[in-house]
A and B are shown apart, each in its own frame.
Chain A
């Protein structure tokens, strides 16, 4: 007999995608755009940045400094305007080098920093417990080493460990490194009442490695799109999917900004804005039942910063040593670990070899599903790419092409079911990533000196979200660090960490040519945390209000 499923289990709606309702996305007028810091939306995306970690020694003087900083803090309005002008100039001049440059800065505060600047009352309303605790207190929960003196243990961090936690993080970003350095020097000189704990200059990698991280893979390919418009009618995230070309009932133009780029309600990133519904891919959530942050922090965003060292020789040595076990080439094994080839071309669309042309097509590089065949999408007239001419991705439900342990499949399972159920839940986990590399590259250097090999290099990981626990911490602990979630197959070999009573071994189950899998143990950390912090990037209005003056 077939079990009869009562109403409590198995109910579902008659149509896919969740409730189809008119989508009224929020509109941001100029005042609103000028209140949101620009590295949140649309993101700085500048090639030269400086991360300045400061501690407040004199709160009264520091409040004056914060207020003085306010006019320099770059807003969403300024950054969006710059990006639009840059794109227009590029189209007009038909070159990427449009001759535009800018120097920008944003600022964020730890919970303690807010207490010092605004008083206990200003900080009292934050319900985000992880923010209140801080990164150091949550470190081992994220899989960081539990053994003191081991690389990566919080006691050894350059900043953010016990006793050297920053109250303020300033990010300076520029198209020109000298302009970046000049502005950072000005901030340093003017920081009365504050002590600079640590600074990290961060620069994108040069030449062909531009946009790649130190292991040699293009980074930041997949970002969520942010729903919402400006009051001139333009979208915060530009839309490219042609709704008129879709069959009735196919709402993918409402689901994606560009093919593969899922749209998410802005409240997932900006406090107080409409959030993503927990059950629907398209709908906003009802307003929160109770305030989870003080009113002054509306349109702010939590910022997670992690200084991650990358051990490039260890990564290479592993892929070369393990390729034999995996019965494939080191290059293919490395691509399996990441889920993409170095160019950024996804395994789901380029299973056997890298395809730089696919990677260069921004309308194709991210257009794929994992469990099902991917259907083509037509682009709106005037889209910056020709029609997607690459073979569409085919279903990989068993994880043989892009394994379940692959970094990109761990971090964003897309349309797949997960340990928390439906893909609408996955949209709640996405973050706006704004990281940038630091240190000299080793990738592409034919005969590196011992000094170059030994130099520190890595990623200044930065992400923004409206929670820390349900976004950054969730995907880190629950998915990257687990060998069984969201699917069995091993740990995320890139950023996953595991510390089981001091045992840091991880593993991946690599699909073999015979249909089986080869379990490969990973006995070293390729990525080691060495600092960071949990911060709030407040609305700019707070800099001359609650936090400064």
Chain B
């Protein structure tokens, strides 16, 4: 019997149980993963809803949320890397499956940073299944002023969801907009790890693109497959926020910051939306916090301490 009956959504309860949304979500995920993809030498990548695997070990695959592309492009100018890290649109720059939106006050100082690993595919499906619920969620997450017309486009008599609406880019954030941050590509990159016949990780061909996520996924899947094991993605099959590290961050008086993080979507084990904002009673804002003695000027300074994770497992096909 397969490990997964129906793929669970990244965030539970957006729609009532029994909604056709859930079967559609399962079909979307299952359609992204082949039943099995054999490695060129050994191992395989399998759909846990289609193939029964005896799990030997769970493995979380983490990488850093700030784009490595910018860190190496501006190897000697971290300030510029952080500047460019604030650019978020369909072609860039938040490439590591972590996107964020920064809110600044009237003085231009950061008051809030919201991180997401939410899939555009999920929200598009939600919009097609229940447009009103989509509007409600936008109002809850971003701003009560959101109107349905803000989120949908009319083209040739067809009304369709606009993922690049202002409440998801300029005035807030709900889900991915960077073109290469999507589930099929993540799965495709992971499956690409099976295409390696290299004897070890030093000999695995290095990709000329510089994204940490891609190398991490490809190498980890390849290393497990070379042990003649089956690799599956664990539930929920999505990108999640795996951790955040504010140790050593300091308030204006030099004392350690409080816990200002809030998981607002996903589950405690697999968050997909994370918000950072100082409570008003503290009397200061995010920009007043120092990381290693340096004031926060960019959301990327926080993103550097946020980890993205895919949950996977290694096992053998059940006999």
Task: Tell me the complex Cα distance, A161–B183, Å.
Answer: 49
What are the residues of chain A within 8 A of B211 when measuring CB–CB? 9, 421
Number of interface residues of B (CB under 8 A): 71
In whole Å, how far is A155's beta carbon from the nearest beta carbon of chain B? Answer: 11
Number of A-B contacts (CB under 8 A): 223
What are the residues of chain A within 8 A of B156 when measuring CB–CB? none
Chain A contact residues: helix, strand, loop or mixed: loop
Interface status of A430 (Cβ within 8 A of chain B): no
**Residue pair A371, B307 in contact (C-beta under 8 Å):** no
Asked, given contacts A12-B207, A482-B245, whether A137 binds B293 with beta carbons under 8 Å apart, the answer is yes
**Residue pair B204, A16 in contact (C-beta under 8 Å):** yes
In whole Å, how far is A487's beta carbon from the nearest beta carbon of chain B? Answer: 7
Interface residues of A in 411-429 (CB under 8 A from B): 414-425
**Residue pair A138, B293 in contact (C-beta under 8 Å):** yes
Interface status of A95 (Cβ within 8 A of chain B): no
Interface status of B141 (Cβ within 8 A of chain A): no
A375 CB contact (under 8 Å) in B200, B247, B257, B258: B200
Interface status of B227 (Cβ within 8 A of chain A): yes
Asked, given contacts A420-B212, A421-B215, whether A6 binds B180 with beta carbons under 8 Å apart, the answer is yes
Nearest residue in A to B37 (C-beta to C-beta)?
A: A2
Interface flags for A271-287 (1: CB within 8 Å of B; 0: not) read: 00000001111000100
**Residue pair A371, B215 in contact (C-beta under 8 Å):** no
Stretch at the interface among B1-9, B57-65, B167-175: B57-65
In whole Å, how far is A261's beta carbon from the nearest beta carbon of chain B? Answer: 13
Interface flags for A89-112 (1: CB within 8 Å of B; 0: not) read: 000000000000000000000000
Interface flags for A122-147 (1: CB within 8 Å of B; 0: not) read: 00000101100100011011110010
**Residue pair B256, A10 in contact (C-beta under 8 Å):** no
Interface status of A499 (Cβ within 8 A of chain B): yes
Task: Tell me the complex Cα distance, A137–B292, Å.
Answer: 7
Task: Tell me the complex Cα distance, A290–B73, Å.
Answer: 12
Interface status of A21 (Cβ within 8 A of chain B): no
Interface residues of A in 449-506 (CB under 8 A from B): 469, 477-478, 481-482, 484-488, 498-502
What are the residues of chain A within 8 A of B191 when measuring CB–CB? 2-3
Interface status of A385 (Cβ within 8 A of chain B): no
Task: Tell me the complex Cα distance, A99–B64, Å.
Answer: 52
Interface status of A398 (Cβ within 8 A of chain B): yes
**Residue pair A143, B307 in contact (C-beta under 8 Å):** no
Task: Tell me the complex Cα distance, A20–B230, Å.
Answer: 32
**Residue pair B188, A10 in contact (C-beta under 8 Å):** yes
Interface status of A22 (Cβ within 8 A of chain B): no
What are the residues of chain B within 8 A of A369 when measuring CB–CB? 200-202
Nearest residue in B to A2 (C-beta to C-beta)?
A: B34
A422 CB contact (under 8 Å) in B71, B219, B224: B219
Asked, given contacts A292-B76, A420-B63, A501-B259, whether A16 binds B247 with beta carbons under 8 Å apart, the answer is no
In whole Å, how far is B96's beta carbon from the nearest beta carbon of chain A? Answer: 10
What are the residues of chain A within 8 A of B49 when measuring CB–CB? none
Task: Tell me the complex Cα distance, A3–B184, Å.
Answer: 5
**Residue pair A10, B192 in contact (C-beta under 8 Å):** yes
**Residue pair B57, A398 in contact (C-beta under 8 Å):** yes
Interface status of A169 (Cβ within 8 A of chain B): no
Task: Tell me the complex Cα distance, A478–B247, Å.
Answer: 11
**Residue pair B57, A515 in contact (C-beta under 8 Å):** yes
Among A15, A140, A250, A255: residue with most chain B CB under 10 A: A140
Task: Tell me the complex Cα distance, A484–B305, Å.
Answer: 12
Asked, given contacts A16-B205, A141-B248, A420-B64, whether A6 binds B185 with beta carbons under 8 Å apart, the answer is yes
Nearest residue in B to A292 (C-beta to C-beta)?
A: B76
B212 CB contact (under 8 Å) in A288, A421, A499: A421
In whole Å, how far is B279's beta carbon from the nearest beta carbon of chain A? Answer: 15
Interface status of B198 (Cβ within 8 A of chain A): yes
**Residue pair B63, A2 in contact (C-beta under 8 Å):** no
What are the residues of chain B within 8 A of A502 when measuring CB–CB? 256
Task: Tell me the complex Cα distance, A10–B307, Å.
Answer: 21
**Residue pair B206, A280 in contact (C-beta under 8 Å):** yes
Task: Tell me the complex Cα distance, A14–B214, Å.
Answer: 17
Interface status of B77 (Cβ within 8 A of chain A): yes
Asked, given contacts A372-B223, A417-B215, A419-B64, whether A255 binds B202 with beta carbons under 8 Å apart, the answer is yes
Interface status of B102 (Cβ within 8 A of chain A): no
Nearest residue in A to B198 (C-beta to C-beta)?
A: A16
B188 CB contact (under 8 Å) in A3, A14, A398: A3
Given A16-B202, A140-B248, 11 other A-B contacts at CB below 8 A? A9-B214, A13-B205, A127-B76, A129-B78, A252-B202, A255-B202, A290-B76, A419-B216, A420-B212, A423-B201, A488-B60
- Partner-B contacts on A (CB < 8 A): 1-6, 8-18, 127, 129-130, 133, 137-138, 140-143, 146, 250, 252, 255, 278-281, 285, 288-290, 292, 369, 371-375, 395, 397-398, 414-425, 469, 477-478, 481-482, 484-488, 498-502, 515
**A-B pairs with beta carbons under 8 Å apart, 8 shown:** A1-B32, A3-B185, A12-B192, A15-B205, A290-B77, A372-B201, A421-B212, A484-B60
